[in-house]
Amino acid sequence: MSEAYICAAVRSAGGRKNGRLSKVHPIDLGAKVVDALVERSGIDPEAVDDLIFGCVSQVGAQSSNLGRNVCISSVLGESVPGTVVDRQCGSGQQAIHFAAQAVMSGTQDVVIAGGVESMSQVPIGASIIDGYKMEHGTPYGEEIQKRYPGIQFSQFAGAEMLAEKYELSSDELAEFALSSHVKAKQAVEENRFDNEIVPIEVELEDGSLEMHTQDEGIRMDATLDAIRGLEPLQEGGIITAAMASQICDGASAVLVASGEAVEKHGLTPLAKIVAMSVVGTDPVIMLEGPIKATQVVLEKAGMSMDDIDLFEVNEAFGSVPMSWAKALDADMDKLNVNGGAQALGHPLGGTGAKLMTTLVHELRRSGKRYGLLAICEGGGTANGTVVEVC
């Protein structure tokens, strides 16, 4: 079986809700990162077998096979088929897994994986809400209602359940939220993201054009007092907006190739995919999956937590990586070292490839060897990936 290599990885800087990227069509945003990916890798577009893009809210501007539309809006053109995948918040990571599985199996040689979400244009839950309004039904049939009577699946509730189960205090969550902004600010000041961010031309309110190159959500002046002063999102809860991921517009893409394709096309591998996992867990608490996904992927890799140099665990809510770290006795100094989604944003379908991009570039920048990515997902699923720098 062939090995799978990441030969290029790029992302847009995140845009805040109704912010700098809000007027860019998600298809065009996806195409721009793909164009940059092709240019940086030096791959001939004709050599790309497929494109797999993650996207969660597949309605409106993000409907009608977003992946194919990204292809025909980019330098890939008509010859690359393109498709779209929904593994909820892990969609971009699952796209990478599908790409890796394709090249490892020998059925394809070069696949672009990534994701995009314009949460300004297509709000979270839009596919459910719009379908309900048009009387097209809901995604929960009779059998689910029988198995989970009276349950309203909610990530907000799940975040609270995690905090309670793992005995996380409001102060701990506030301090972790602050650290996300502090680390992200430091990453910007030290130019750590420069090699991964694709400049995107945006139109400002006055009609002028400017290149968007910095994640828009970072609170450069964040303070613990300000974070502690926010009201909980749910009555009786402890999770506040500061302890949740930011609504974000963004896109990301990675080039995955087999060893044979690397030689044939003269590609330069950045990292090798060592092992992958996808797991199902309790859909009610919903966000606990990264723990199991990490355990499974480490077992597949024949590794332990101590073998991993850097961890990226998506900060859908602060309670997710904190409960993960507590359950697995993780070294917090290795976790989300350049900040996480509480500061940088979580563009849903684009997040998996976004975090992989950051992980690979940071491993190489810091001279580290092994990285692990894990993301919680709606429905109680989760993906885990271990990569090794080349």
Residue ranges with strand state E in the chain? 4-12, 15-16, 50-54, 83-85, 110-118, 197-198, 200-203, 209-212, 248-258, 271-280, 310-313, 370-376, 381-389
Q: For residues 147 and 290, give the distance between their C-alpha atoms in angstroms, rounded to a whole number.
A: 24
In 3-state terms, what secondary structure has residue 110?
Answer: strand
Q: For residues 228 and 171, give the distance between their C-alpha atoms in angstroms, rounded to a whole number.
A: 8
Q: For residues 167 and 243, give the distance between their C-alpha atoms in angstroms, rounded to a whole number.
A: 16
Query: In the chain, what's the furthest Cα-to-Cα distance?
Result: 59
Please say if 71 is a catalytic residue.
no
Catalytic residue chosen out of the listed positions 55, 71, 89, 248: 89
Both tokens of 352, joined, read 């998996």
Catalytic residue chosen out of the listed positions 7, 71, 248, 376: 376
Please say if 248 is a catalytic residue.
no
Please say if 346 is a catalytic residue.
yes
Task: Name the CA dihedral angle for 30, 32, 34, 35, rounded to a multiple of 10 degrees.
Answer: 160
Q: For residues 115 and 95, give the distance between their C-alpha atoms in angstroms, rounded to a whole number.
A: 8
CB 272 within 8 A of CB 390: yes
Q: Please report, as a single letter, which amino acid is at residue 116.
A: V
Both tokens of 121, joined, read 């244009």
Both tokens of 59, joined, read 């309605």
First to last CA, the chain: 19
Q: Per-residue DSSP letters for 117-175? A: EETTTS-TTHHHHHHHHTT---S--HHHHHHSTT----HHHHHHHHHHHTT--HHHHHH
Catalytic residue chosen out of the listed positions 181, 212, 346, 361: 346
> Among all residues, which ones are annotated catalytic?
89, 346, 376
